Structure formats: structure tokens, C-alpha cells
Chain A
Amino acid sequence: MPKYLLLKHYRGAPAAVNDVPMEKWTPEEISAHIQYMNDFAARLEETGEYAGGEALAPEGTFVRYDGPGRPPITDGPFAETKDLIAGWMVIDVDSHDRAVELAGELSAAPGAGGKPIHEWLELRPFLTMPPTVTE
């Protein structure tokens, strides 16, 4: 079964249709959104398609090696960086179509006014192990 990474962006994805920052929603709308996300993950666990997921803090650091005997160089966070990942979910599904279907469902999570956010989610297939049968 192919695995897919569902990426949610703080920044860097095309703008959602219902693009209102969460702190401008009502508390009830926030609760409804969180409930939708939890229900979604719970449903995938039941169908045996959920393979993991985590949320990330928005602020991170860039780090690189700076040569022998020196501490690594750190930099950032960069306000201008285009891409900022908010979190991910890994799904293990039967087909690409199923992965697209699930991403579409997740993107329908309710936001401001209780209406779907229509958020753009990024769907990335995992590279797999080579198959046993090759000819």
C-alpha cells in the first residue's frame, strides 16, 4: 500500500478560499474545527489508513555544519521564507485516488463562519522499497 504525506502549511501554500486567521474565528468555530480534525484522524485509524501525524511549532532554526572543531552555525527564523510547514499526517492507502479523496476531506474542515476552509494541502508520495518482482 502506498504511503502519502499530507502537509499542512502555515505559509507557502496558495491562499485558501475561506482564508481567515484562526484567532478571528469565534471560540465555537475553533472547537468545531478541532473536533473535525480529531474525528478525521480517528476515522482513518478505524479504517487502518492512519500511519501517524504531528503538529509543528511555527518558529524553527536553520543549522549547518561549519567545519571541523567549530560549533554549527545557526540562523533564522526567516520571516521571508516562503514555505512554513504547520504539521503533517501520514496515510497508508490503496491508491493515489484514495489519497486525493482523503486530502479533499481534510481540506473541508470548517473555519470562519462554520464554512469549509478549502485549504490547499500538499500530497506527497513516499518513495518505496524496490519490489521483489521486477520482470
Chain B
Amino acid sequence: MNLRELTPSVIGILVRRGADFAAAEDAVQDALVEAVRVWPADPPRDPKGWLVTVAWRRFVDATRADAARRRREDLADQEPPAGPAAARDDTLRLYFLCAHPSLTPSSAVALTLRAVGGLSTRQIADAYLVPEATMAQRISRAKRTVADVRFDQPGDVATVLRVLYLVFNEGYSGDVDLAAEAIRLTRQLAAVIDHPEVHGLLALMLLHHARRAARTAADGSLVPLAEQDRGRWDTALIAEGVTILQTALFRDRLGEFQAQAAIAALHADAPTADETDWVQIVEWYDELAGLTDSPVVRLNRAVAVGEADGPRAGLAALAGLDGSLPRYTAVAAYLHERDGDLSTAARLYAEAATKASNLAERDHLTRQAARLNARRPH
């Protein structure tokens, strides 16, 4: 079992014994560091018991006042040993606490990765390209923000899903693969709560993760979905994602993540880009628009309409949308290219490149403009 998987239940046990969340979390981090040092040479027979013992000792050491220590030790004596059901509840509560609505998204992400994921502050800082001291500040502020939240207070699973989605979507940098970590944390969540949207998000992540190797060329440039080598898609992840999605959909409680996963599954299902079932994809975008009313969904829907009913229909679907939406100009360029208006398309690709929010996308859009400009005199 992965050492970090034990983190939430060990924090839970310390909190049950009377430690406050912030101190328990610090103590467990110390114990994890110690485990990494000691375990390779001297692996414990009961890893979780070892972590609880070491973390509790750290917690007691950190608590200076003797009176407070005695009170906590009394509490520990009274506390019955935590069984599997308690560990499940503790894990779920920890997810809720770390995604508490009083936290900003960046704080919730950092706290979740540390307290639920068991990552060190340095690893989280590396992954988000900020100095370690900055991340340490963010995490301790987040802990202060939730200091008065009762640990056993029920939470809203939707807030947890948003946090996990953010972690997944940040992609990856540094030595921690955030996408893989998001999948691990979503799997762990799915094991402690039965909710179709949790399964929807897990399926969505698996289906996108399956395409990751094919999304980037050897030189680091982006490869759009239609041009990806589908032989490089991970069929095992796709199969797992589809199965999880089907089980969730069968329960007939549709949500945003299930609908997005359904679209990803339809792409995964097409042996070639030309065989994509765009008509069904448009139907799923309609479902999604009904659930979220997000302009980004309507923008993506316009792309799907362009494929299902032709570029003119796509452009018509685009017409009602706000031109300042991210990727609007890139979508317009693509639809104009499909419609055969290459000079408009080239101009729009170049304009879209100046509006891109990341380097890979900017370079990709500049290349698209260059490709069209190279094909016609200018």
C-alpha cells in the first residue's frame, strides 16, 4: 500500500484522539518524512499503526503545556480503536474540510494535496511553480481558515469534485504528476462515498488521461484530437473509464461530469477521427448546456455542430456567443478553415495566438496560421 494513502485515516485518528486538525496534520507530515527515512531499512509490520504512534508522539512533543498533554492522553485512553468504518468516515470528512467553501480554490487545492494526498509542501510548491515559503504560507493560512470548522460536519461533494478537477486540469510539472495524483484522490473518494458524479469525474479523468501520451509530439508541440495517433491511447484506461461511466449513467442521476465523460467516451470510441459520432456528441453538449449554462460549453458545442452539420452550421452556433470568450477566435478560425475561407482562417489563427493563455496553445495556433499562409500567396 502506498504510504501516502494512509495519510487521511491517520490524521482522522489523531483528531479523534483530541488533536486539532492543524496540529494533527503537521504531526502526520513529520511522521511521513520519518517513514520515508526509516522504512526502507526497517519496514514496520503494521505501517498504519507505526504512523499513528510516531505522529501522536510528534503531536504530544509539539504540545508544550503539560496540562493539555495530560488531557489529550486521557482522551486517547478513552477512545475506542478506530475500525475500517471510522477510517472511511475520517477520509471523507478530511476531503470536505480541505475543500471547505470558506477556502479560496488555490488554498483548497494546496490543503487537499497535503492533508489528503500526503504530499510535502515542497512537492506542492514545485508542482505549482511557486517558492516553497509561499506554499507553506498558503497552507498554514488555509488551516487557520478552517480551524473553527467542526471535523464531523457534513460537506458538499460538489465542492470536493471542483477541487479535484482543478488539480487534474493543471496538468503536470516538476516531479509530481498532478493528473495522476488527482486520479488517485478521486479513486480514493469513490471508495468512501457512493455518488454518480464522483464516478463521472473519475471516468472523465481516466478517459482524458488515456490520451495523454498522444497529445504531445516529440518536440513538445500540441497534437489536436483529430491528428492524434490513436494507437498511442491507453486502451486499459479507456475501458475502465467507460465501465465506470456506464455504471454511473445507469443510475439516471445525470450531472456535469458524467456528461463531459460521455463526450470523452464517444471520442475514445472512434477508431479514426472521421468515425466520430458527432451527432451524439452534440446531443451530450445539449444535455451539458442544460446542466451548467456555461458559455464554454456552448463554444465547444459549436465545434461539435460544425462537425455534425457542417462548418456553416458551426459558425451559426458561434454567432450568438461572446467574442471575448477564451478560445472563441481559435474556434472561429477552425470553422472558417473547414468552410474553405483560408485567408480569414489564417488571420483568425494569428489573432487567436495572441490571445492564447498558454505557450503550447500559442505555438500551436501560430503554426496553424503559418500552415495556411504557406499554402497561399501573401
- Where the two chains meet, the residues of A that have a C-beta atom closer than 8 Å to any C-beta of B are 21-27, 29-31, 34-35, 38, 55, 57-59
Determine the chain A residues whose CB is within 8 A of the CB of B370 once the complex forms.
Answer: 22-27, 29-30
Let me know if B366 and A22 touch, CB within 8 A: yes
Known contacts A23-B346, A34-B363, A38-B220; 19 additional CB pairs below 8 A are A22-B366, A23-B350, A23-B353, A23-B373, A24-B370, A24-B378, A27-B367, A27-B371, A29-B370, A31-B221, A31-B367, A34-B219, A34-B220, A34-B221, A55-B359, A55-B362, A57-B354, A58-B354, A59-B355
Q: Does B349 contact A (CB under 8 A)?
A: yes
How far does the alpha carbon of A95 sit from the alpha carbon of B373 in the complex, in Å?
43
Determine the chain B residues whose CB is within 8 A of the CB of A24 once the complex forms.
Answer: 370, 373, 378
Pairs across A and B, CB under 8 Å, 29 listed? A21-B350, A22-B366, A23-B346, A23-B350, A23-B369, A24-B370, A24-B373, A24-B378, A25-B370, A26-B370, A27-B367, A27-B371, A27-B374, A30-B367, A30-B370, A31-B221, A34-B219, A34-B220, A34-B221, A35-B219, A38-B220, A55-B359, A55-B362, A57-B354, A57-B355, A57-B356, A57-B357, A59-B354, A59-B355
Closest to B372 in A: A23
How far does the alpha carbon of A30 sit from the alpha carbon of B371 in the complex, in Å?
10
Let me know if A30 and B220 touch, CB within 8 A: no
How far does the alpha carbon of A117 sit from the alpha carbon of B355 in the complex, in Å?
24
Cross-interface CB contact of A26 among B346, B349, B363, B374, cutoff 8 Å: B374
Interface residues of B in 236-285 (CB under 8 A from A): none
Let me know if A23 and B363 touch, CB within 8 A: no
Tell me the minimal C-beta distance from A26 to chain B in angstroms. 5
Tell me the minimal C-beta distance from A47 to chain B in angstroms. 22
How far does the alpha carbon of A27 sit from the alpha carbon of B221 in the complex, in Å?
11
Determine the chain A residues whose CB is within 8 A of the CB of B378 once the complex forms.
Answer: 24
Majority SS of interface residues in chain B?
A: helix
- Where the two chains meet, the residues of B that have a C-beta atom closer than 8 Å to any C-beta of A are 219-221, 346, 349-350, 353-357, 359, 362-363, 366-367, 369-371, 373-374, 378
Tell me the minimal C-beta distance from A51 to chain B in angstroms. 13
How far does the alpha carbon of A55 sit from the alpha carbon of B373 in the complex, in Å?
25
Determine the chain B residues whose CB is within 8 A of the CB of A58 once the complex forms.
Answer: 354
Determine the chain A residues whose CB is within 8 A of the CB of B357 once the complex forms.
Answer: 57
Closest to A29 in B: B370
Tell me the minimal C-beta distance from A25 to chain B in angstroms. 5
Tell me the minimal C-beta distance from A77 to chain B in angstroms. 11
Tell me the minimal C-beta distance from A8 to chain B in angstroms. 13
Determine the chain B residues whose CB is within 8 A of the CB of A35 once the complex forms.
Answer: 219
Tell me the minimal C-beta distance from A7 to chain B in angstroms. 17
Determine the chain B residues whose CB is within 8 A of the CB of A34 once the complex forms.
Answer: 219-221, 363
How far does the alpha carbon of A58 sit from the alpha carbon of B350 in the complex, in Å?
13
How far does the alpha carbon of A30 sit from the alpha carbon of B218 in the complex, in Å?
15
Tell me the minimal C-beta distance from B367 to chain A in angstroms. 5
How far does the alpha carbon of A26 sit from the alpha carbon of B373 in the complex, in Å?
8
Question: Contacts A34-B363, A55-B359, A59-B355 known; A23 to B219 CB distance under 8 Å?
Answer: no
Tell me the minimal C-beta distance from B215 to chain A in angstroms. 17
Determine the chain B residues whose CB is within 8 A of the CB of A23 once the complex forms.
Answer: 346, 349-350, 353, 366, 369-370, 373
How far does the alpha carbon of A31 sit from the alpha carbon of B220 in the complex, in Å?
10
A-B pairs with the 7 shortest C-beta distances? A23-B369, A23-B350, A27-B367, A27-B370, A26-B374, A58-B354, A27-B371
How far does the alpha carbon of A26 sit from the alpha carbon of B349 in the complex, in Å?
14
How far does the alpha carbon of A30 sit from the alpha carbon of B374 in the complex, in Å?
12
Determine the chain A residues whose CB is within 8 A of the CB of B356 once the complex forms.
Answer: 57
How far does the alpha carbon of A59 sit from the alpha carbon of B354 in the complex, in Å?
8
How far does the alpha carbon of A111 sit from the alpha carbon of B356 in the complex, in Å?
21
Closest to A26 in B: B374
Closest to B221 in A: A31
Determine the chain B residues whose CB is within 8 A of the CB of A27 once the complex forms.
Answer: 367, 370-371, 374
How far does the alpha carbon of A55 sit from the alpha carbon of B356 in the complex, in Å?
12
How far does the alpha carbon of A55 sit from the alpha carbon of B360 in the complex, in Å?
11
Determine the chain B residues whose CB is within 8 A of the CB of A31 once the complex forms.
Answer: 219, 221, 367
Determine the chain B residues whose CB is within 8 A of the CB of A38 once the complex forms.
Answer: 220
Let me know if A30 and B354 touch, CB within 8 A: no
How far does the alpha carbon of A22 sit from the alpha carbon of B363 in the complex, in Å?
10
How far does the alpha carbon of A23 sit from the alpha carbon of B371 in the complex, in Å?
8
How far does the alpha carbon of A119 sit from the alpha carbon of B378 in the complex, in Å?
23
Closest to A31 in B: B219
